[in-house]
Amino acid sequence: MTIKTRFAPSPTGYLHVGGARTALFSWLYARKHGGRFVLRIEDTDLERSTQESVNAILEGMAWLGLEYDEGPFYQTHRFDRYKDIIQQLLDQGDAYYCYCSKDELDALREQQIANKEKPRYNGKCRDAGHALKEGAVIRFKNPTQGDVVIDDLIKGKIVVANKELDDLIIARSDGSPTYNLSVVVDDLDMGVNVVIRGDDHINNTPRQINILRALGVEPPKYAHVPMILGADGARLSKRHGAVSVMQYRDEGFLPEALLNYLVRLGWSHGDQEIFTVDEMIALFDLEDVNGSASTFNNEKLLWLNHQYIMNSDPAHVAHHLSWHMGERGIDPGQQGPDLTEVVKAQRERCKTLVEMAEASRYFYLDFESYDEKAAKKNFKAGTDEVLRHLLEKFSAIEQWEGEALHQIVLDTAEELDLKLGKVAQPLRVAVCGTAVSPSIDITLSLLGRDKTLTRIEKAIKFIQDKYSE
């Protein structure tokens, strides 16, 4: 049997990290078993579903590299199919028309709560034999005897007594299907045989199993993934910071780092922390997923992202860094050093691509002012003479390469009887505008001859003007 999993988000917002982890687990399980992964857009909530949200979900999946084998399928394109199944359940006697008003149902609920009973529909219309009239909803006639047994692949055996389940609505008064009906039909038609989803769906699972059995179908296997909590123990939400997948892209995280972090939220393989995608596929198993909730730790994700920035192929990091440079109005292909070389120079010191993009601006764009603290410390009276000495030597050099450039800095310090820092730091501030950069030889190599000489001349003038006042 070919394993088939699915990810089925509702397009009522962005792709959040909880959904992304569910998608990842479903994708990994399908890949590990040589199966197929389906993307389904559950857009039957017509009031809240938007095309913008659909686009955000597709963009998030693409950025993470979670390619799907089938889909995306849209529930709004399948209303005729749902209608047929609802009619089939009516014809079989497994569904019925219900005319209970909202006021009736509200009063029933209040009475049940007052009596300390579990609020649920009392089955008033179950055997009334109502025909279709305007305003009717359709309810599924849930079995009243026996149990539903779920052999959950993560949580183990879950037993729910049918008498605890009420007759849920499967079609609204306007004829549109409800979530529990459309999901059942989709999983049936698409051949989904392993359903991996959040454990907030556990209450839906026995109901969906009963509908499938009423249709004469063996239900899929289920795996309910525990929720993700914030540091305060509450369910992860906007107030905990970035929860949108694309917001992590915007904040400078690599997709592989986020995938690695998400797979470790509730799953482990020994003490290993860092996994390639191929290792995730080879090692992942639902049986190893922890049944309890996981806590999201931004510091751990940041550490992991830095590991990926340092150890990934620099060309791959540069590919993702390029987007951040473009957001800052920089086209690395047109106006400065090779971005891959910049990554090599900056990767040890930058934990995010945003940090790296900001720290690399001076390689591509001229700066209008010097960092105030750095200029005050390093641009002293007489520093212009040090820079003039360097300018002459740099202007005369034939090959603009790191070792020769570094030697000029060393020779200048020796000739002027200065400590190396008294030469290198003013030079760094002169060419970068700040006191922080990669080693001076790498910095100068990446900047190139023209930028270096022009910026040294500018710094000399700045110092002269400052001390001639």
Are residues 246 and 277 part of one domain?
yes
Residue 6 predicted with pLDDT over 90? yes
Q: Tell me, yes or no, if 458 is annotated catalytic.
A: no
Per the CB < 8 A criterion, the answer to whether 4 and 46 are in contact is no
Is the domain of 131 the same as that of 269?
A: no
- Residue pair 309/350 in contact (Cβ under 8 Å)? The answer is yes
For residue 69, being part of any structural domain is answered with yes
Domain that holds residue 281: 4-75+228-302
**Predicted local distance difference test score (pLDDT) of residue 363:** 97
The answer on 467 and 389 residing in a single domain is yes
DSSP letter for 272, please.
-
For residues 114 and 168, membership in a common domain is answered with yes
Mean pLDDT (whole number) for 259-276: 95
Nearest in space to 257 (alpha carbons), one of 128, 13, 462, 65? 65
Are 88 and 197 part of one and the same domain?
yes
Q: How far apart are CA 354 and CA 253, in angstroms?
A: 8
Q: How far is CA 296 from CA 25, 226, 232, 237, 431, in A?
A: 17, 13, 10, 11, 41
**What is the average pLDDT across 266-279?**
95
Q: How confident is the model at residue 469 (pLDDT cuts 50, 70, 90)?
A: low
pLDDT class of 117 with cuts at 50, 70, 90: confident
Q: 35 and 152: one domain?
A: no
Range of lowest pLDDT (45-59, 88-102, 230-244, 311-325) = 230-244
d(CA 441, CA 449) in angstroms, rounded, equals 12
pLDDT, residue 134, reads 84
Residues 6 or more apart whose CB falls under 8 angstroms from that of 311 comprise none
Encoded tokens for 173 = 């008064």
Q: Tell which of 225, 257, 292 closes a domain.
A: 225
Query: Same structural domain for residues 107 and 196?
Result: yes
What's the structural domain count of the chain? 3
**Amino acid 131: pLDDT:** 82
pLDDT at 242: 63
What is residue 73's three-state secondary structure? strand
- 135, with CB counted inside 10 A (0-12, 13-18, 19+), is exposed
Cα angle: 22, vertex 56, 58; to 5 degrees? 65
Per-residue model confidence (pLDDT) at position 96:
96
DSSP 368: S
**16-24 average pLDDT score:** 96
- Asked whether residue 288 is domain-assigned, the answer is yes
Domain boundary among 265, 280, 302: 302
Q: Are 180 and 211 in contact (CB under 8 A)?
A: yes
Final residue in a domain of this structure, among 210, 225, 240: 225
Flag whether pLDDT at 240 surpasses 90.
Answer: no
Give, in order, the Cα–Cα distances in Å from 450 to each of 30, 101, 336, 387: 54, 80, 11, 15
The percentage of the chain sitting over the pLDDT mark of 90, rounded to a whole number, equals: 88
**Per-residue pLDDT reduced to its tens digit, 334-379:** 889 999 999 999 999 999 999 999 999 999 999 999 999 999 999 9
Tokens of 297: 């730790």
What was the pLDDT predicted at 172? Answer: 94
**HSE of 332 in the Cβ direction (CA atoms, 13 Å)?**
23
Say whether 332 sits in a helix, a strand or coil. helix
Catalytic residue among 163, 238, 377, 461: 238
Mean pLDDT, rounded, for 384-411: 95
- Report the pLDDT value the prediction gives residue 456, as an integer from 0 to 100: 98
pLDDT at 243: 78
Looking at residue 142, its pLDDT comes to: 97
Q: Which pTM value belongs to this model?
A: 0.92
Tell me, yes or no, whether 356 lies in a domain: no
- One domain for residues 96 and 114: yes
- Please provide the DSSP assignment of 103-120 as one string: HHHHHHHHHHHHTTPPP-
The CATH number covering residue 105 comes to 3.40.50.620
**Model confidence pLDDT, tens digit, residues 189-233:** 999 999 999 999 999 999 999 999 999 999 999 999 999 998 888
Report which secondary-structure segment, H or E, holds 221.
strand 221-225
Length of the chain: 469
Answer whether residue 1 shows pLDDT above 90: no
Amino acid (1-letter code) at residue 330: I
CATH code at position 415:
1.10.10.350
Residue 355 lies in a domain: no
Whether the per-residue pLDDT at 5 is higher than 90: the answer is yes
- CA–CA dist 462, 469 (Å, integer): 11
